[in-house]
């Protein structure tokens, strides 16, 4: 199942605190099976939805959940992984994280890595439809796209709230396909 387009590629995945984090496990697993070298950074909120152990097992690499862990294998994890990345994916990308990125705030492993990396960044937004449609969220996404960030989704479908609307994270296969498209363009 290896894909030569992923040979030698380092993909860093930032996981934020949204229910769609469970889908991100599928993305990490599939990309690793296809031959990518996978690394995961998580916000503290993300660990409430999916454990770091899940991502460590799927990626076969240490998972960074804080910049300040003395057991961290890197002196500066955001720098080590940001500089190494061929592509950085943030999935799910919550409204909170999107806002921090647009403002240049870097108080966790996910946002700090985004500021360091010079690799393409792909956002996969996931949130309640009212949050996604809010003018502030839309402004932040426009700002990030103007800076060169890529975006996939969100889709319209069933949300965690139990209703249908826009805000559902794109499916893992679509995100993997978008990753390959971005890497192919480089």
The CATH number assigned to the domain holding 26 equals: 3.40.50.1950
**Average pLDDT score over residue span 37-64:** 97
Helix 95-103, helix 135-146: angle, nearest 10 = 50
* Domain count within the chain: 1
CA angle 9, 15, 16 (to 5 degrees): 155
Per residue in 17-32, pLDDT (tens digit) is 999 999 999 999 999 9
Predicted local confidence at residue 1, as pLDDT: 76
Radius of gyration of the chain (CA): 15
Cβ atoms of 164 and 156 closer than 8 Å: yes
Query: Which tokens in the block code for residue 47?
Result: 């660990």
Residues contacting residue 184 through CB under 8 Å, at least 6 positions apart: 5
pTM over 0.95: yes
Banded pLDDT at 73 (limits 50, 70, 90): confident
Structural domain boundaries, residue 170:
4-185
Predicted local confidence at residue 65, as pLDDT: 96
Q: Count other Cβ atoms within 10 Å, centred on residue 127.
A: 28
């Amino acid at each position: 199942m290896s894909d030569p387009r992923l040979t030698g590629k380092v993909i860093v995945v930032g996981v934020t605190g949204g229910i769609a984090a469970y889908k991100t496990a599928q993305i990490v697993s599939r990309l690793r099976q296809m031959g990518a070298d996978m690394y995961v950074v998580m916000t503290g909120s993300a660990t409430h939805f999916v454990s770091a152990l899940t991502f460590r097992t799927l990626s076969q690499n240490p998972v960074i959940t804080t910049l300040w862990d003395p057991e961290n294998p890197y002196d500066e994890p955001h720098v080590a992984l940001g500089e190494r990345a061929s592509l950085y994916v943030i999935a799910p990308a919550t409204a909170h994280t999107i806002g921090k990125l647009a403002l240049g705030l870097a108080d966790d492993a996910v946002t700090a890595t985004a500021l360091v990396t010079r690799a393409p960044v792909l956002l996969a937004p996931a949130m309640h439809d009212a949050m996604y449609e809010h003018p502030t969220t839309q402004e932040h996404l426009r700002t990030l796209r103007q800076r060169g960030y890529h975006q996939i989704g969100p889709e319209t479908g069933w949300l965690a709230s139990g209703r249908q609307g826009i805000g559902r994270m794109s499916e893992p296969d679509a995100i993997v396909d978008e990753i390959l498209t971005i890497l192919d363009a480089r």
